[in-house]
Amino acid sequence: MRQPLVAGNWKMNGSVASVRELLAGIKAGVAGVPRCEVAVCPPFIYIPQASAELAGSPVFWGAQNLSTEAAGAFTGEIAASMLLDFGCTYVIVGHSERRTLYGEDDDVVAAKFAVARAAGLKPILCVGETLGEREQGITEQVIARQLDAVMAMQGAAVLADGVIAYEPVWAIGTGKTATPAQAQEVHAFIRGRVASQAPEVAAGLRILYGGSMKPGNAPELMAQPDIDGGLIGGASLVASEFLGICQAAHESV
């Protein structure tokens, strides 16, 4: 049995005041969704605040990115050890916004995954195709390439107890959600590809869906056999919406 995980990717949003309010709202509701693991990924600068405000609560926190380097002259970067220093459990790697806006290729993403794993963080590996790639019928090729880059660097065992987020780029922040059937098809493909190298790892792998997930569409998505939770953007900035998605995950098991 895989415990569902719902993680909020706040992206570049928030202020000290709004973070305080959002975390208070999530903390107030999290006791109602005990079968769902809940995590938030604030911008780096609000991680100390999250760690202080979430200490003692069941809510985990993490980062949206990390450096491939351990320390040194890398202006503007944040190392895995720094995330651990502030109690991070998770770190998102390979989000499509990092890949497209900041030029992170499969090798960089695989290196970040490896560094996070080695440090004891739990990387959430994002994969997903663009609209053009879906229309060309190469969705599975794209996902396979993104996934294989990580497995090639370290072997499929590196995904043990891992988390992958399938985020079709065309569904991110657009209000367009993959249908439950479309998402399930890709989730099953991901699990199958990992299973071809490591069946036990694949069985325990949590595969989250991301892309315009809301309380309204979450129950149907969560009901799919290979969807184990969500990576939530916009709706994670409003406590009631985020908790509504957590509720759907809680009820799906």
Binding mask 211-230 for ligand 13P (x = CB under 6 A): xxx-----------------
Least distance between ligand 13P and beta carbon 97 (Å): 7
Nearest distance in Å: CB 127, ligand 13P: 12
In the chain, the amino acid numbered 160 is A
Indicate the residue type of 144.
Answer: A
Kindly state the DSSP code that residue 120 receives in the 8-state scheme: T
Binding pattern for the stretch 54-93 against ligand 13P, x by CB under 6 A and - elsewhere: ----------------------------------------
Regarding 95 and contact with ligand 13P (CB under 6 A), the answer is yes
The residue (of 158 and 165) whose beta carbon lies closer to ligand 13P is 165
251 is catalytic: no
User: Which of 97, 104, 167, 241 is the catalytic position?
Assistant: 167
What is the CB-side half-sphere exposure of residue 53 using CA atoms within 13 A? 21
182: which 2 tokens?
């479309």
Catalytic residue, from 53, 95, 129, 187: name it.
95
146 binds ligand 13P (CB under 6 A): no
Residues 14, 94, 123, 233: which binds ligand 13P (CB under 6 A)? 233
Query: Which pair of structure tokens corresponds to residue 233?
Result: 């953007």
- Show the tokens assigned to 158: 């590196």
- Write the binding mask 172 to 191 for ligand 13P: x where contact by CB under 6 A, - elsewhere: xx------------------
CB of 183 or CB of 231, closer to ligand 13P? 231
Task: Provide the minimum distance between the beta carbon of 205 and ligand 13P in the complex, in angstroms, as a whole number.
Answer: 18
Indicate if 53 belongs to the active site: no
Dig out the tokens for 230 from the structure.
Answer: 């969500």
Do residues 187 and 209 lie in contact, with contact meaning Cβ atoms separated by under 8 Å?
yes
d(CA 210, CA 74): 31
Instruction: Please report which helix (H) or strand (E) contains residue 117, including its range.
Output: helix 106-119
Sorted by sequence, the CB contacts under 8 Å of residue 228 that are 6+ apart come out as 2, 4, 5, 206, 207, 208
Nearer to ligand 13P, 132 or 155 (CB): 132
Figure out which of the listed residues 104, 167, 226, 241 binds ligand 13P, where binding follows CB under 6 A: 167
For the bound state, the minimum distance from the C-beta of residue 213 to ligand 13P, rounded and expressed in Å, comes to 6
R_g over Cα of the chain: 17
The whole-angstrom separation of Cα 126 and Cα 7 is: 12
**Angle 224-145-208 (CA atoms, 0-180°, nearest 5)?**
25
Residues 82, 76: Cα–Cα separation, whole Å:
13
C-beta of 201 vs 221, nearer to ligand 13P: 221
Contacting residues toward ligand 13P, per CB under 6 A = 9, 95, 167, 172-173, 210-213, 231-235
Q: Which residues are catalytic?
A: 95, 167
